[in-house]
């Protein structure tokens, strides 16, 4: 038994391997789990909070966030703020887009919208609403973004430029109102707000490329909302409308005029005034102005605030104010007129000091302010800067503000055309009156009556002389006729020519006699007519009185035209 046990083989003890295939399964599971965790965390986006007035149509884990119709995030939670005023929407943005979040990133809810600007968001009728996104400029991302209630008119991927306009009132403009250039839609209004001064409205417009390059520092913007009705100079009516959209929602147009001024580019601080009409924009009242005061000794009827100040037909300024002033020390009533002159009309660079020097130089050369009638129909007046006839011999000067008693320097003035017409008419009438008096004296003078009697006596002597020599002349003619008859045999041709000559001479003597008789009668009539109680004297006096009355009426007419130029049409 023992031997049997001795022949049994001995057991060999070996070290057992610690690795077992059973451990492969949990290891693989661990690796897969770790990879899944890494994948989840690596793909996990940035969570931000959006605020909206309402969460209408938004669903958790269903409503996507899109940029250019590409899904870049989703809504993961909804809740109300502590004051129950806003809806807080927790959204997760994919990492790639999260890297583009910045302080100017905007979010809005895309729904079907119908407005006067058009229809948008129709695709959401089938796919459901979603949240739109505009990344804006890159920068430090915010944790909370205030959502927009309407889609923005301009996004960061729209190429163009924004400009700021300033107006006294908004009018019918609204967000989305079009901006036109030569009747081409080149942009729109994107925002408006009340400025800090509370007196003006700031309007932000966006102009697409390449039209944004047209805007320069001297560009003019004006409102074209609704219908523009103008009365033409010929009495007609002009009605203009830029487009149907501008009629409904308002609109703006602009132009960049070609001028002698250097057209400089704009900068970020440039603010353009928004004028109500094109005419107001063309008025060129943007920029620096020079202010002066004027005094006139004639009526100011028809001169109103806003009337132009012109030089050779070119508007260079306007009337700013008209007041009535009574001086305390002598109770004299004066009417100061405040005018403004645009610096850019006198200086290419619009320099105020340069323009002031030009005004001073013109005044020294004799330029004056003069009231001029613009329209006889309405009696409207304006101020012209003119050089009188005696300008070279009568140079002027600008009175300083201390001399004028006001805060502005005083420009010299001259009488208007109607005033000078009245003065000239008065002088002419005085000369006419003097001539009439002299005529009366001459007619009634003894020398005039004596002269006419002397002429009558001379004519009587001439008539007597002709009577004495008439028989001798007749006898001579008869002798000449007989002689010619005797010579007829010698020359028949000579007789044919001489006989008519003799007859013509005899006829002439008869006409001379008749003329002398008529002259004597005329002088007798003249002597009778020149008597003080004659009819001619009476008629002549009536004529002189009528001429005097006409002269007085002409003077009254000139004075009336000075005060009321339109009285020629409408009467007094």
Q: Helices marked H in 44-179 — which ranges?
A: 95-98, 124-127
Cα 157 to Cα 179: distance, rounded to the nearest angstrom:
19
Kind and range of the H or E element at 359?
helix 352-364
pLDDT in tens, 332-347: 778 889 999 988 788 8
Residues 505-518, mean pLDDT to the nearest whole number: 58
Residue 485, pLDDT score: 55
Tokens of 342: 């645009």
Cα gap 380→304, rounded to integer Å: 8
Edge-to-edge strand ranges of the sheet holding 64-67: 106-110, 130-134, 64-67, 70-80, 87-93, 46-52, 144-146
If pLDDT is split at 50, 70 and 90, which confidence band does 454 have?
low
Whole-number pLDDT of residue 52: 94
pLDDT at 347: 80
What is the separation of C-alpha 16 from the centre of its chain, rounded to a whole number of angstroms? 108
Query: Tell me, what's the pLDDT at 489?
Result: 47
Q: How confident is the model at residue 399 (pLDDT cuts 50, 70, 90)?
A: confident
Cα dist from 557 to 297, 429, 436, 568, whole Å: 19, 12, 21, 9
Which residues, in sequence order, are bridge partners of residue 192? 203
Give residue 345's pLDDT.
82
Q: Given pLDDT bands bounded at 50, 70 and 90, which one contains residue 232?
A: very low
Hunting for tokens 């949240």 — which residue is that?
131
Kindly report which listed range (86-90, 130-134, 416-420) carries the lowest average pLDDT score.
416-420
Domains of the chain, residue spans: 33-146, 160-282, 289-415, 442-553
- Is the separation of the CB atoms in 91 and 46 below 8 Å? no
Half-sphere exposure of 226 (CA within 13 A, CB side): 7
pLDDT of the residue at 21: 67
Is the pLDDT at 519 greater than 70, yes or no?
no
Lowest mean pLDDT, pick from 5-9, 134-138, 390-394, 497-501: 497-501
Model confidence at 487, pLDDT cuts 50, 70, 90, reads very low
Note the pLDDT tens digit of each residue in 541-560: 665 566 566 556 656 655 66
Largest CA distance in the chain: 233
Q: What is the mean pLDDT of the chain?
A: 75
The residue to which tokens 């400089």 are assigned? 264
Judge if pTM exceeds 0.85: no
Please report where in the chains the tokens 């609704």 appear, as a residue. Answer: 226
Using a pLDDT cut of 70, give the percent of the chain over it: 58
Q: Are 266 and 179 in contact (CB under 8 A)?
A: no
Lowest mean pLDDT among 46-55, 69-78, 187-196, 250-259: 250-259
Q: How many whole angstroms separate alpha carbon 263 and alpha carbon 213?
A: 12
pLDDT over threshold 90, residue 267: no
């Amino acid at each position: 038994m023992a031997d049997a046990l001795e022949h049994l083989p001995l057991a060999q003890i070996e070290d057992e391997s610690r690795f077992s295939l059973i451990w492969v399964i949990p290891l693989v599971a661990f690796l897969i789990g770790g990879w899944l965790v890494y994948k989840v965390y690596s793909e996990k986006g940035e969570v931000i909070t959006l605020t909206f007035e309402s969460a209408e149509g938004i669903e958790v884990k269903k409503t996507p966030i899109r940029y250019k119709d590409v899904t870049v995030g989703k809504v993961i939670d909804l809740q109300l703020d502590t004051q129950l005023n806003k809806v807080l929407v927790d959204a997760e943005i994919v990492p790639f887009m999260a890297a583009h979040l910045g302080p100017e990133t905007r979010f809005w809810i895309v729904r079907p919208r119908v407005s006067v600007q058009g229809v948008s968001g129709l695709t959401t009728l089938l796919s459901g609403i979603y949240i739109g996104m505009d990344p804006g400029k890159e920068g430090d991302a915010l944790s909370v973004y205030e959502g927009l209630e309407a889609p923005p008119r301009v996004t960061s991927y729209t190429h163009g430029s924004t400009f700021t306009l300033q107006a006294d009132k908004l009018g019918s403009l609204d967000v989305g109102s079009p901006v036109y250039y030569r009747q081409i839609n080149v942009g729109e209004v994107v925002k408006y707000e009340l400025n800090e001064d509370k007196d003006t409205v700031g309007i932000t417009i966006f102009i697409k490329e390449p039209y944004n390059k047209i805007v320069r520092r001297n560009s003019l913007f004006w409102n074209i909302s609704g219908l523009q009705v103008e009365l033409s100079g010929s009495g007609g009516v002009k009605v203009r409308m830029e487009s149907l959209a501008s009629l409904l929602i308002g609109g703006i147009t602009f132009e960049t005029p070609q001028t002698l001024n250097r057209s400089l580019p704009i900068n970020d601080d440039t603010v353009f005034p928004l004028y109500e009409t094109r005419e107001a924009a063309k008025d060129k009242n943007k920029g620096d102005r020079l202010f002066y005061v004027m005094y006139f000794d004639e009526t100011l009827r028809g001169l109103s605030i806003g009337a132009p100040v012109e030089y050779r037909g070119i508007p260079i300024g306007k009337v700013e104010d008209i007041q009535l002033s009574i001086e305390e020390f002598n109770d004299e009533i004066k009417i100061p007129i405040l005018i403004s002159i645009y610096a850019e009309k006198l200086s290419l660079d619009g320099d105020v000091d340069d323009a002031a020097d030009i005004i001073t130089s013109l005044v020294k050369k004799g330029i004056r302010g003069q009231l001029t009638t613009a329209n006889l129909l309405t009696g409207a007046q304006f101020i012209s800067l003119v050089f009188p006839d005696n300008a070279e011999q009568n140079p002027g000067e600008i009175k300083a503000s201390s001399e004028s008693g006001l805060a502005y320097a005083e420009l010299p003035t001259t009488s208007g055309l109607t005033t000078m017409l009245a003065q000239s008419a008065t002088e002419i009438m005085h000369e006419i009156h003097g001539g009439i008096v002299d005529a009366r004296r001459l007619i009634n003078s003894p020398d005039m009556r004596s002269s006419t009697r002397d002429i009558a006596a001379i004519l009587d002597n001439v008539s007597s002389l002709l009577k004495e020599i008439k028989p001798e002349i007749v006898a001579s003619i008869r002798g000449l006729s007989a002689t010619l008859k005797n010579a007829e045999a010698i020359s028949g041709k000579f007789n044919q020519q001489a006989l008519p000559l003799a007859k013509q001479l005899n006829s002439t003597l008869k006409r001379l006699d008749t003329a002398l008789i008529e002259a004597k009668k005329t002088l007798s009539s003249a002597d009778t007519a020149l008597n003080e109680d004659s009819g001619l004297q009476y008629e002549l006096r009536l004529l002189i009185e009528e001429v005097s009355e006409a002269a007085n009426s002409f003077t009254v007419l000139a004075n009336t035209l000075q005060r009321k130029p339109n009285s020629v049409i409408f009467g007094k």
